[in-house]
Structure 1
Amino acid sequence: MLTLIGLLTIGSLVLLLLIGRMSPILPLIVVPLLGALAAGFGPEAISGFYTEGLGRVISIATMFVFAITFFGVLQDTGLFRPIINAMVRITRGNVIAVTVATAVIGMLAHLDGAGATTFLLTVPALLPLYKELRMSPYLMLLLLALGAGILNMVPWAGPLGRASAVTGIDVTELWHGLIPVQIFGAVLLVAMAALLGWREKRRIAAATGDVDPGGPVETFGGLQDASAAELELQRPGRIWINAALLLIVIVALFMGVLPAGYIFMIGLSAALLINYPGGKVQMQRIGAHAPSALTMGMIILAAGSMLGIFTGTGMLSSIAQDLVRVLPEPMVPMLHIVLGVFGLPMELVLSTDAYYFGLLPVALEVVGTHGVEPASVVYALTIGNIIGTFISPFSPALWLALGLAGLDLGRHIRYSLWWMWGFSLVLFMVAWGMGLF
C-alpha cells in the first residue's frame, strides 16, 4: 500500500511540475503532505519529517540566496560585458572565429549560473553579427546553450543544488568531482565550435556562391548599447578589483576554506562595499536580485520538506524494494547509468525539478541496495542530463533566448538535439572512464 501511495504522490508531483500551471514551490510542499496524510501519518510525525528534511538543505538554500545576489551585483558592475564585447569585435568577419568566440562567450556569460542573464548578455550582442555574416542564428543558440550547459555544473547553478538537497552531499564536494569534466567539456566545445564554423562557412559559400564568406564586415553596426540605468551601475574603473574578488571567491570555494554559503556572504559584502557604498544603494542592488535569489532558496527549502516526508514515511524505500522485484536483475545496479545515457532526451519531457526531485530519489534508493554511492548516481544523472538544460521546453531562460533571437523552439530542437546529445554522451563516457560512476 505504501508503494502505491508513494507512486501516486511522486507521479502527481511530477505531473504538476510538468504542467507548470503553478509555482514549483506549491506542489513540492502540498503533494508530499497529502501523501503522508494518506499513508496514515499524523501532525507529530510529519513535523519530525519536516524538521529533518529542512536540516539537510538549509545550508544549500543559504548558499543560493547569497551566490545569486553576489553574481548579480558583479553583473551590475559590468564585469563581464567588456570581455564579451571585445570578443565580438575581434572575431567579426571570420565565421570560424565567430563560432569559437560564441562558445567561449556562452561559458563566460554563464559564470553566474543564471540562464536568463546569459542570454540577455549574449544574444543581443551576437545576433547582428550572425545576420551580417549570413550565419544561422540556430547555430549561435546551439553553441551558447552548450557553453551554458557546461558551466551549469558550478555549485551555485540549480542542478547541483537540487542534487545536493536530495542526497545531503555538500554541493562544493559534488562540484570538485565535476571540475575535470568541465575542463574537458570546455576544450571539446571549442573544437566542436571550430568544426561547426567550418561547416557553416561551407554552407554559406554553397548558398551564396562566395568562395570566401566571412570577410571584413564594414556595415556591421556594432553591439547593443547598455541602457542608461545599466551604465549608471557599471564601475569600469574597478573592473580589475572586481575580477580579483571573483577569482578569490572561486578559489576559496575550490579549496573549501569556509562553507560555501559563508564565502558568498563575505563575497557579496565585499562587492557591495567596493562598488556601491551607502546603505540605500546597497539595498537597491540586493532588492534587484532578491526575486531570483529568494525563488531558488524557497524551492530548495520546499524540496527539503518534500524529501523529509518521502524519506521519513518510507515511501522511497518501499518503491525501490518493489521496483527491484520487477526490473531485470542485471539492470538494477546499472539503473543510474541507463538513466544517464538517456538523460538529455528526458529534458524534453521532464523539467529540471521533476528530474531531480522525482527521478533522482527513486534511482538512489534502487541502486543504493547494491552498494552504489549516492555521489555516483548524482554524477551519472547530472552529466547525462545537464548539457540539455537549454533545449528543454520547461526552461524559461530558453524561451527568453528564443524571443530575443526571434527563433522557433521546434526548429531549435531539430537543429540542436543530436549535437547536444552526442556532446553529452562524450562527456558521459569521459566521466565513466574517470571512475565518477
Structure 2
Amino acid sequence: MLSWIGFLAIVVIVTILIRGKTTPIIPLVLVPIIAALIAGFTFSDIGEFFSAGMSSVLNVAIMFIFAIIFFGIMQDVGLFDPIIDKIVKATHGNVVLISVGTVFIAMIAQLDGSGASTFLITIPALLPLYRQMKMSPYLLLLLIAGSAGIMNMLPWAGPLGRAATVLEMDVTELWKPLIPIQIIGMLVMAALAFYLGKREQRRIIKQYGSLEQAIATKVDSFLGEEVESASEQVEVVATEQKRRMYVWNLLLTVLVIGVLVANILPAGLAFMSGTAIALLMNFRSAKLQGETIQRHAPNALTMASIILAAGTFLGILNGTGMLTSIAEDMVSILPSAVSSQIHIIIGLLGMPFELLLNTDAYYYGLLPVVEQIASTFGTAPQSTAYAMIVGNIVGTFISPFSPALWMGLGLAGAELGKHIKYSFFWLWGVTLVLLGVAFTLGLF
C-alpha cells in the first residue's frame, strides 16, 4: 500500500511539473503531505520528515541564493561580455562548435564530483552565449546533464561510493572497469552534441533567416523575453569602471570557484564571502549595494524557495519509507522467469527510475535486493552493480530528486517539465548505447 501511495504521489508531481500549469512549489509541498496523511502518518511525523528534508537541502539553498547574486553582480560589471564576444568570433557563430564545446566544458567542471558546482560554473558562463546565439537553454541543460552524468562515475562522486558501500568493496576497484565506459560516453555525448547542434542551427536559420540575423535580434524566443545586447543595456556600472575593475573581478571569480572546487570552505560561505567582496569592490555606497542586492534577490529567492519545497518532497517520501518500499516492490512484482536477468532489466529501466527514486533509494534500497536475487542465479555482485550504475547514472540530472538540477534550472531560467520533455529520451538513448558497450566489454 505504501508503495502505491508513493508511486501515485510521484506520478502526480511529475505530471504537474511537466504540464507547467502551476509553480513547482505547490505540487512539491502539498502532494507529499496529502500522501503521507493518506498513508496514516500524523502531522507530528510529517513535521519530523520536513526537518530531515530541510537539513538535506538547506546548504544548497543558501549556496544558491548567494551564487545567483554573485553571478548577477559579475554580469552587471561585464565580466562575461569579452569572453562571449571572443567565443562568438572564434566559432564564427558556429552553433555546432558551441554545442560540442559545452560537453567538454561540463565534463571538466564535473571532475570534482559535484553536480552543484558544475551547474554553477557552466551555466552563468555559457547561458549568455546561448542567448546571444538564440540557442535553446534546454539544449544547454541536456548537454551539461548528460556530460556531468557520465563523469559522475568517478570514485569520489556519490553513486559509486554508495554502490561500493553496498557491495563492501573498494570504490577505486569498482571504478576501474568503468573508465572505458566513461571515455566512450564522452565520445557519444560529443556526437550527440554535434547532431543536436546541427538541428539547432537549422532551427535558428529557419526562424531568423541567418545566424547573423539571429545574433542581431533582441528577442529570446525560448524564454519569451527581451534580451538586450551589452551596448543596449541600462548601465548599472559605468563602462570605465568595468574596464578598471575587470581583472579584479575575474580574479575574484576564479578564487571563489577555486575555493569551491578545492572544498576549502562550504560552498554557501564561499559564495557569501564572494558576494560581500564583490559588492565592496564594485559599489562603494550602501545605497548602490542595496540596489544591487534588490536587483538580483527576486530570482535567487524564487528558486531557493523551490529548492526548499523540493526538500519537503524528499524528506517526506524518504521519511515515510515510500521510496524504499517502491524499490523493493518493483523487484518483487517481476515474473520469476526474468529473475535471472533482473540486473539487466533494472539497468535498461534505470533512466525511468530517475523519475521515481532518489540516489539513496536506488543504491541503498534497490541495489541490495536486485543483487541478492541475481546472485542466486550465479551473477557476480559487481555485474549487478555495473548494470545498474551504467543504466542509471547518465540520467542523474534529469530527476526531480536532484537538488543540483533545481539549481541548474534556476540559473538557466528553465522549467523541470520542459527539461524532462526535451532531454529524457536523448539521455535514455545515450544510456542504452553505454549499456550495450558495457555488455560487449563483459562488465555484466
TM alignment of 1:173-212, pairs within 5 A: none
Structure 2 equivalent of residue 20 of structure 1 = 20
Q: Are residues 1:338 and 2:376 paired?
A: no
Task: Summarize the Cα distance change of 1:247–1:399 in structure 2 as closer, same or farther, 3 Å threshold.
Answer: closer
Instruction: Give 2:97's aligned amino acid.
Output: V
Corresponding letter in the other structure for 2:315:
G
Provide the C-alpha distance between the structure 2 equivalents of 1:418 and 1:5, rounded to a whole number of angstroms.
26
One-letter code aligned to 1:329? S
Determine if the alignment matches structure 1 residue 363 to structure 2 residue 370. Answer: no
Which structure 2 residues correspond to residues 5-154 of structure 1 after superposition, within 5 A?
5-92=5-92, 99-101=96-98, 103-104=100-101, 112=120, 118-119=126-127, 121-123=128-130, 125-126=132-133, 148-149=144-145
Partner letter of residue 305 of structure 1?
T
Whole-angstrom distance in 1 between the partners of 2:38 and 2:215? 63
Match of 1:264 in 2: 271
Report if aligned partners of 2:28, 2:310 keep a CA contact under 8 Å in 1.
yes
Q: Which residue is equivalent to 2:236?
A: 232
Q: CA deviation at 1:319?
A: 2.1
Other-structure match for 2:376? none
Distance, in Å, in 2 between the alignment partners of 1:269 and 1:397 is: 20
Is the CA contact (8 Å cut-off) linking 1:2 and 1:315 kept in structure 2? yes
The residue aligned with 1:293 is: 300
Aligned to 1:392: none
From the superposition, tell whether residues 17 and 237 of structure 1 become closer, same or farther in structure 2 (CA, over 3 Å).
same
The 8 Å contact of residues 150 and 185 in structure 1, kept in 2 or not, is answered as: no
1:329 matches 2:339: yes
Give the length in aligned residue pairs.
360
In structure 1, distance between residues paired with 2:272 and 2:260: 12
Does the CA contact (< 8 Å) of 2:80 and 2:125 recur in 1? Answer: no
Moved more, 46-55 or 218-227: 218-227
1:57 alignment partner AA? V
1:33 positional shift: 0.8
Task: Output the CA distance in 1 between the equivalents of 2:213 and 2:357.
Answer: 51
TM-aligned CA deviation for residue 292 of structure 1: 2.6
CA distance in 1, matches of 2:252, 2:395: 33
Q: In the aligned structure 1, how far is the partner of 2:425 from the partner of 2:394?
A: 16
Q: Structure 1 residue 5: deviation in Å?
A: 2.2
Q: Aligned partners of 1:276, 1:143: CA distance in 2, in Å?
A: 35
3-state SS in 2 of match to 1:232: coil
| 8 Å CA contact retained: 1:50, 1:309 | yes
Contact preservation (8 Å) 1:88, 1:125: no
1:69, distance to aligned residue in structure 2 (A): 2.0
Among all aligned residue pairs of Structure 1 and Structure 2, give the percentage whose two residues are the same amino acid. 34
Q: Distance in 1 between matches of 2:258 and 2:41?
A: 46
Q: For residue 29 of structure 1, report the CA deviation from its aligned partner.
A: 1.0
Q: 5 Å matches for 1:345-384? A: 355=354, 363-364=362-363, 365-369=365-369, 381-384=392-395
Cα 1:380/1:236, change in 2 over 3 Å: farther
Alpha-carbon separation, structure 1, partners of 2:55 and 2:278: 29
**CA distance in 1: counterparts of 2:197 and 2:19, whole angstroms:** 37
- What residue in structure 2 maps to residue 273 of structure 1? 280
Q: 1: CA distance between counterparts of 2:212 and 2:20?
A: 46
- Return closer, same or farther for 1:428/1:114 CA change in 2, 3 Å cut-off: farther
Instruction: Give me the whole-angstrom Cα distance separating, in 1, the residues matched to 2:282 and 2:27.
Output: 39
Take 1:42 and 1:218, find their aligned partners in 2: how far apart are those partners? 60
Consecutive unaligned residues of structure 1, counting only runs of 5 or more, are 128-136, 156-161, 168-176, 204-213, 347-353, 390-394, 402-408
> Given residue 313 of structure 1, which amino acid in structure 2 is its aligned partner?
T
Measured after TM superposition, the shift of residue 63 of structure 1 is 1.6
Distance 1:191-1:239 versus aligned 2 partners, 3 A rule? farther
Q: Would you say the 8 A contact 2:137–2:412 is kept in 1? A: no
State the match for 2:321 in structure 1: 314
CA contact (8 A) 1:72 1:289 kept: yes
The alpha-carbon distance between structure 1 residues 221 and 8, as it changes in their structure 2 partners (threshold 3 A), is closer
* 1:363 aligned partner, one-letter code: Y
How far residue 3 of structure 1 moved from its aligned partner, in angstroms, is 2.4
Deviation at 1:100, TM superposition (A): 2.6
> Which stretch of the first structure deviates more once superposed, 358-367 or 281-290?
358-367
Contact 2:71–2:124 under 8 Å retained in 1: no
Letter of the 1:383 counterpart: V
What's the RMSD between the two structures over aligned residues?
5.3
Distance of 1:237 and 1:186 partners within structure 2:
40
The one-letter amino acid of 1:33's match is I
- CA distance 1:251–1:305, change in 2 (3 Å): same
